[in-house]
Amino acid sequence: MNNTFCQQISFDFTGRFLPPVYILVFIIGLVANGWGLKSLLQNWKKLGNVKVFILNLGLADILYLLTIPFLVVYYFMGSKWIFGDVFCKITRFCFNLNSYGSIGFLTCISVYRYLAIVHPMRVKGRITVTHSVWISVMVWLLVSVQSLPDMFYSKTFRNRTGKCYDTTHKIYVEDYLKYSLGWTLTGFCIPFLITLGCYGHVIVFLCRTKTTDEVLKRRCLKLFCILILLFSVCYAPYHVFKNLNLWSRVLSRQKRCSQWSNGVYIAHQISRGLVCLNSALNPLVYLHGKEDIPAQLRRRLQQTRQMFSRLNLSNSDCVPVAQTEDEVEPELRGYH
């Protein structure tokens, strides 16, 4: 620690980095989730009870995506929040609902897949859509209870600075760090371990069972890779650097400076952009659940190419082309 020199924090990095990420996530997220939810509803009867969790996953994404335009305005105005303290808290609350709700429903999907593959006879007929609905309600309630204390921390500090903090003002940062560590344990670490345990057991089971369909093995491995991607890219860096940044702020408040403060701050802002990507990446779960989506994508691309080909042909109509045999006058056929 250095008590005499404090490295300056690059606060302007946030305003340069996050708005483009938010805009990209907003566009891709709305298109992907809209298409995914439409596909889910069209094939509702064909899917199992897991469809309830996928539907709630999509709703959590849409809920957060609707708040992104306000955050873009916030950063474009130089981090000046003009929408009031209440709406600032609502915006941050929606972010928490999306992040931890997504983690919760991804965990439910993992447990459901585990039971359906490893213990199919024990759960056959015992898990219904009604059960899935009640479990989803419990996930929403649990996430709301975990996120509710965050609403009581100051987010704008009476608008003295014009900020809309994603955590809280430096005055309350010590208490917030304790709350954040407990939140990380219950909202991220435990669900992540459950997910790893479920899919680890599933993969071992499938590898040992020679009679298992190869298609089922590929689908399980694909979903496992998707979930690992979401947890390792979106959620893990965010929780690590969020708590490190809070610890750095605690040290700064105690007049104890650290050489890594600026690096941790920048890493935390990057992780905030990564965690937002979950709203655009979650539809990969729809892609896994509906095997003909890749075929649909190829068909749409082919239709697009055909449309452009027709446009090119229509533009070339004015260019003379050689006559075919059918277009030659009857009396000239056979003439050599």
* DSSP structure string for 7-58: PPP-THHHHHHHHHHHHHHHHHHHHHHHHHHHHHHHTGGGS-THHHHHHHHH
Given this model, what pLDDT does residue 211 score?
62
pLDDT at 7 exceeding the cut of 70 = no
Neighbours of 198 (CB within 10 A): 22
Query: What is the mean predicted confidence (pLDDT) over 322-332?
Result: 40
Does some domain include residue 225? Answer: yes
CA-CA-CA-CA dihedral for 4, 6, 7, 9, to nearest 10: -170
Express each pLDDT in 145-197 by its tens digit: 999 999 999 888 765 667 899 999 889 999 999 999 999 999 999 999 999 99
Percentage of the chain lying above the pLDDT 70 cut: 81
Given this model, what pLDDT does residue 247 score?
94
Query: What is the mean predicted confidence (pLDDT) over 26-50?
Result: 84
**CATH number assigned to the domain comprising residue 106:** 1.20.1070.10
Given this model, what pLDDT does residue 207 score?
80
Model pTM score? 0.81
Does some domain include residue 324? Answer: no
Q: What is the C-alpha to C-alpha distance for residues 7 and 259, in angstroms, rounded to an integer?
A: 6
Express each pLDDT in 87-108 by its tens digit: 999 999 999 999 999 999 999 9
Q: What is the C-alpha to C-alpha distance for residues 81 and 88, in angstroms, rounded to an integer?
A: 8
* Through-space distance between the first and last CA atoms of the chain, rounded to whole angstroms: 98
CA-CA-CA-CA dihedral for 25, 26, 32, 33, to nearest 10: 120
Q: DSSP string of 55-80?
A: HHHHHHHHHHHTTHHHHHHHHHTTS-
Neighbours of 314 (CB within 10 A): 9
| CA atoms in the 13 A half-sphere facing the CB of 4 | 0
Does some domain include residue 30? Answer: yes
Does some domain include residue 203? Answer: yes
More confident of the two residues 334 and 88: 88
Does some domain include residue 307? Answer: no
Bridge partners (DSSP) listed for residue 2: 257
**Domains identified in the chain, total number:** 1
Does some domain include residue 174? Answer: yes
pLDDT band at 335 (very low <50, low <70, confident <90, very high): very low
Q: What is the C-alpha to C-alpha distance for residues 101 and 189, in angstroms, rounded to an integer?
A: 14
Average model confidence (pLDDT) across the chain: 82
Does some domain include residue 306? Answer: no
Domain span at residue 19? 12-293
pLDDT at 274 exceeding the cut of 90 = yes
* H helix or E strand, kind and range, residue 279: helix 278-281
Express each pLDDT in 122-151 by its tens digit: 877 788 888 899 999 999 999 999 999 999
Does some domain include residue 226? Answer: yes
